[in-house]
A and B are shown apart, each in its own frame.
Chain A
Amino acid sequence: GEDVEQSLFLSVREGDSSVINCTYTDSSSTYLYWYKQEPGAGLQLLTYIFSNMDMKQDQRLTVLLNKKDKHLSLRIADTQTGDSAIYFCAESIGPTGTASKLTFGTGTRLQVTL
């Protein structure tokens, strides 16, 4: 079955870079996603990467994908207090019928200190 793992907590100082890591097990995943959840809110898509890519950059966000090791990371440059949230990685486990089923990791709580 599919399993997505993340470390539970990360603390960084404002202005530093944050790196959040994720490992997944389904080698047939086609898309991998990073979602952000702020306190008391639902999840919001930050970025995603197609499985045939190694890297994707989007402003302060850099996603690295190592398919051999099934390892995904999210780097946030110049981390700000507004980046404090829970970050979830998720893998697409392929459509069943026409739904886009995702398997989510446990989430990493990012704490940004002054």
Chain B
Amino acid sequence: NAGVTQTPKFQVLKTGQSMTLQCAQDMNHNSMYWYRQDPGMGLRLIYYSASEGTTDKGEVPNGYNVSRLNKREFSLRLESAAPSQTSVYFCASSETATGRYSYEQYFGPGTRLTVT
């Protein structure tokens, strides 16, 4: 099993350009997540998808859109990139939560994005 895969690994964009970050998981997980990681700020949740067909905003959704294409794939789109979106982006997946039990999240290797 590959686990969680992300493409691309690195990307440089100019301000105003658009791009889509791809994420796929092969663990048959229902829930998927997009985070950004910035120095000194830990990981912040951008969007998540509790199950196929649903998406919800996280802590920092502005400037991003997501698509849960199917159970395996969850993409993150930057419509008009800004320098403030320079960051490392991580995708994660987990089993469906039951009651108040939260399951381990499995992370991809990340995409390092620079916006100039």
User: Which of A41, A97, A101, A104 lies in contact with B110, CB distance below 8 A?
Assistant: A41
**Judging by beta carbons under 8 Å apart, are A88 and B108 in contact?**
no
A-B contact count (CB 8 A): 86
**Judging by beta carbons under 8 Å apart, are A45 and B51 in contact?**
no
Least CB distance from B95 to A in Å reads: 8
**Judging by beta carbons under 8 Å apart, are B42 and A107 in contact?**
yes
Residues of B1-57 whose CB lies within 8 A of A: 4, 30-31, 33, 35, 40-45, 48-51, 54, 56
B75 adjacent to chain A (CB < 8 Å):
no
Number of interface residues of A (CB under 8 A): 27
B102 adjacent to chain A (CB < 8 Å):
yes
Residues of B86-109 whose CB lies within 8 A of A: 90, 92, 94-109
- A92-B102 in contact given A98-B31, A99-B31, A99-B97 (Cβ < 8 Å): yes
The answer for the CA separation of A22 and B4 in the assembled complex, in Å, is 27
Main secondary structure of the interface of A (DSSP, over half): strand
User: Which of B42, B95, B110 lies in contact with A4, CB distance below 8 A?
Assistant: B42
Q: Which residues on the A side are within 8 Å of B103 (C-beta)?
A: 100
**Judging by beta carbons under 8 Å apart, are A105 and B42 in contact?**
yes
User: Which of B33, B49, B100, B110 lies in contact with A95, CB distance below 8 A?
Assistant: B100
**Judging by beta carbons under 8 Å apart, are A94 and B102 in contact?**
yes
- A98-B90 in contact given A30-B101, A42-B107 (Cβ < 8 Å): no
Residues of A42-70 whose CB lies within 8 A of B: 42-45, 48
Residues of A8-40 whose CB lies within 8 A of B: 8, 30-31, 33, 40
User: Which of A45, A98, A107 lies in contact with B97, CB distance below 8 A?
Assistant: A98
- Nearest residue (CB) in B for A30 is B100
Least CB distance from A15 to B in Å reads: 29
User: Which of A42, A48, A107 lies in contact with B90, CB distance below 8 A?
Assistant: A42
- A99-B50 in contact given A30-B102, A41-B110, A43-B90 (Cβ < 8 Å): yes
Q: Which residues of chain A have a CB within 8 Å of any CB of chain B?
A: 4, 8, 30-31, 33, 40-45, 48, 88, 92, 94-102, 104-107
Supplied contacts A45-B106, A94-B102, 10 more A-B pairs, CB within 8 Å: A42-B109, A95-B98, A95-B99, A97-B56, A98-B31, A98-B97, A100-B31, A100-B97, A101-B102, A104-B42
